[in-house]
Amino acid sequence: MNLSPMDRIYLQKRERMVRYWPWAGGALLIALLALVGWMWWNVPHLVNPWAVSMEIQAGTLSDGSAVLMAAMLPVLTLTLLAFAVVVVVLGFAVAANERRLLRLLRRTEAWADG
């Protein structure tokens, strides 16, 4: 193959990312599950709608908790929307990387075919 130094660096970086992703992705999933578990047991008002519903029906939900939840709802909604925007932007970056890789592979294939 006759790849430029920039293309070789790019392919090496992609190989490194692909090789380490299962470990990094697995660690992130475990950390997220641990966070959800911790929040489920220690701060159920933030993640367990059934606990909140039962306290509302029983009349034991404090006014302070209700006010805090009402104040945090817009913040949470905006955060989730920002997260969705970041995911879409990252999707564009992934697509650009894949287009570059496909262009590189097509050029290499054309060179090999002569």
Cβ-contact 61, 54 below 8 angstroms: no
pLDDT digits over 11-21, tens only?
Answer: 888 888 888 98
Residue 77: which domain range?
Answer: 5-113
6 token code pair: 């920039």
Give me the pLDDT at residue 102, please: 86
Reported confidence tier of residue 114, pLDDT bands at 50, 70, 90: low
Q: How many domains does the chain have?
A: 1
Residue appearing with tokens 């509302």: 56
Question: With helix as H, strand as E and coil as C, how does 48-100 read?
Answer: CHHHHHHHHHHCCCCHHHHHHHHHHHHHHHHHHHHHHHHHHHHHHHHHHHHHH
The C-alpha angle with vertex 91 and arms to 85 and 99, in degrees rounded to 5, equals: 150
pLDDT digits over 31-72, tens only?
Answer: 999 999 999 999 888 888 898 889 889 999 888 888 888 888
Summarize the confidence of residues 26-32 as an average pLDDT. Answer: 94
